[in-house]
Amino acid sequence: MNIRNKFSALLILLFVGLVTVSAQQDAQYTQYMFNTMSVNPAYAGSRGQLSIAALYRAQWVGLDGAPTSQTLNLHSPIRNSKLGYGISIVNDEIGDGTVQETYFDGVLSYTIDVSAEGKLSFGLKFGGNLLNLDFNKLRNFDSEPVNSDNIENRFSPNFGLGLYYHSNKFYAGLSAPNLLQTEHFDNSQRDANSVQFLSQERINFYFITGYVFDLNGNLKFKPALLTKVVGGAPLQVDFSANFMFNEKFTFGAAYRWDAALSAMAGFQISDQFMLGLAYDKETTELGGTQFNDGSFEVFLRFELVKSFQRLVSPRFF
């Protein structure tokens, strides 16, 4: 086994828990501001029309078996009511299928007016995830023996809550998308020759906020913040700064505290379609390896904006 494959194998083994794992975090996205429902269910319906978004993330490109994520979500307000709804599907894969976890969620939101421009939404998410873990693929690595049965389509239910306030220029939200601390697998009671581990999905708490400044008639500036807190893991803070030019182009940068630097760009192809791209470069020791070319995201959003409903100023969040 060459150095590259050994390094990749070590990462896969760490991910699936061949050491004791005390906390598992939700998937992270650089372009979360265009995929907000994934971190806060109260966002559902807040854009005022049917919105469908897809995002693909390839993490640590160049490492064999590095994580990839695919998300698809749909949300919309319900006409003539204060309700919104949404559907979300997230698929995470590690080790070329060694670990695959798929989340299916339904979302409901309820919005009230709290001022002339301000709206406060309450969100509820309910669903669960399917876990597949192929130990046969782990046995192919030159490492400790793995004596465990495969896990196939193990379902774990979950639910989450969120609050989201927004006006024309400002937003802030607090959420916990998964409130049940699910134990995915635990073979600690097996014989002494088996590898002992425990993987739990801990509660992830999110706080998001941002503000849009009109710099001139054609340029807007939006600083934003995402903070994630989960027991047993370091605090994650994402700072981002994005510009929108001529209501068409968005570009900016982000910094994930002690983790990564990111560049982002987007293009409003039409009133209905938006395309977004992002690139992350790790600032940790992992980012300095010759096998890690960074992480990439591609985002596409479709919104049902009819010609007679054309937006004078597209929403920047």
Domains and CATH numbers, the chain: 3-309 (2.40.160.40)
Question: Of residues 18 and 137, which shows the higher confidence score?
Answer: 137
Integer CA distances (angstroms), 199 to 193, 194, 209, in order? 19, 16, 31
Read off the pLDDT band of 22 (50, 70, 90): very low
Among the residue ranges 37-46, 166-175, 199-208, 305-314, the one predicted with the least confidence is 305-314
Question: What tokens were used for 34?
Answer: 């265009």
Quick one: residue 295, left, alpha or beta (phi over 0 = left, psi -120 to 50 = alpha)?
Answer: beta
pTM, two decimals, is 0.85
Question: What tokens were used for 99?
Answer: 């670990």
Read off the pLDDT band of 50 (50, 70, 90): very high
* pLDDT value at 19 more than 80: no
Contacts for 285 with CB less than 8 Å, ≥ 6 apart: none
What does pLDDT average to over the chain? 83
* pLDDT value at 21 more than 50: no
pLDDT tens-place string over residues 265-276: 999 999 899 999
Portion of the chain with pLDDT greater than 70, in percent: 76
pLDDT tens-place string over residues 219-262: 999 999 999 998 777 889 999 999 999 999 999 999 999 889 99
pLDDT tens-place string over residues 277-306: 999 998 876 655 666 788 999 999 999 876
Q: What are phi and psi of 308, to 5 degrees?
A: -80, -5
**3-class secondary structure, 12:** helix
